A and B are shown apart, each in its own frame.
Chain A
């Protein structure tokens, strides 16, 4: 959230500039340094990535540092999370063979959750996943994972045949179905994975910004009617924080579950 806007009392609606301003001149905390074609440096977004990484690593380090038979509080939470991912993605989408992919799926789930959760942490209020680059990287991991799983199961040409040519399709329809399946498997799946996560986080940020900034703007507008309604906007804003917490978990879960279902379709023996 734009803190300069919070300090001023005039309501300025949030725009897409909120998401790109950190890459402009003067908004870098360190750097940027030019290394070949890439720019490296530290700004708010990269700081958030480091924060998410620290959250993720420290949580599992302290949860599983000394695993006990009777788990402590933190270990219990981590075990429940792992069990949730195992039951709901690996087992239900792939079946018993899916336990082999539990590492990938739980890493995806907890990494995305660690990134998303910063959207509602007071004082940060920004998710790294509302920059398209980071969901794209995670979607590419899922993309390569389900292709690799399919190729390992069926061989390269076997996998292409398995995923592109559906059995029981009339020969006349085959070219059309081939085209549709090709676009689905190789283009829309990773695209929708990345864009779904990205757009949800952007929309959530806009929603929270509008309600919180609107509450402040209405409260200090000096008009009696607007001031009377601002507590309701504030109450709804607080309820929406809960909703965004739900969305953050749901998006992480949907990402993991869809990856699992794509892997399951890749390694299935028959349709």
Chain B
């Protein structure tokens, strides 16, 4: 604990800011990463079960990707703002 506090005390404001930026983007990417994984997996499953509906599923899949991706991109933009 004292060691960690010592490291934090030794960091400059600039360094802390850099760590914060990295953390913002990294943490913002976790949830959407899981989300896109589930989405793609389910879409592939649906396409494999019903190949005749592959086109329809793909269209809806892209909408879902767009919606989820926005969350990760908020983190990306915020990391430049802070």
A residues within 8 Å of B by Cβ? 16, 88, 92, 192, 195-196, 198-200, 202-203, 250-251, 253-254, 257-258, 261
CA distance A195 to B75 in the complex (A): 11
For the residues of B in contact with A, the DSSP-based class is helix
Evaluate contact between B63 and A258: CB separation under 8 angstroms: yes
Bound Cα distance A203, B73 (Å): 9
User: CB-defined interface of B19-35 with A at 8 Å, one 1/0 digit per residue?
Assistant: 00000000000000000
Bound-complex Cα distance A228 to B53 (A): 47
Measured CB to CB, the nearest residue on chain B to A260 is B63
Q: Name 27 interchain pairs, CB-CB below 8 A, sorted by A.
A: A16-B80, A88-B59, A92-B56, A192-B67, A195-B70, A195-B77, A196-B73, A198-B77, A199-B74, A200-B69, A200-B73, A202-B77, A203-B73, A203-B76, A250-B62, A250-B66, A251-B66, A253-B62, A254-B63, A254-B66, A257-B59, A257-B62, A257-B63, A257-B66, A258-B66, A258-B67, A261-B63
Binding site for A on B (CB under 8 A): 56, 59, 62-63, 65-67, 69-70, 73-74, 76-77, 80
Closest Cβ–Cβ distance, residue A42 to chain B (whole Å): 27
Nearest Cβ on chain B to A205's Cβ, whole angstroms: 12
- Alpha-carbon distance between A257 and B67 when the two chains are bound, in angstroms: 11
Closest to A250 in B: B62
Q: Which residue of A lies closest to B80 (CB)?
A: A16
Q: Determine whether the beta carbon of B63 is less than 8 Å from that of A192.
A: no
Which residues of chain A have C-beta atoms less than 8 A from B63's C-beta?
254, 257-258, 261
Chain B positions within 8 Å of A254 at CB level? 62-63, 65-66
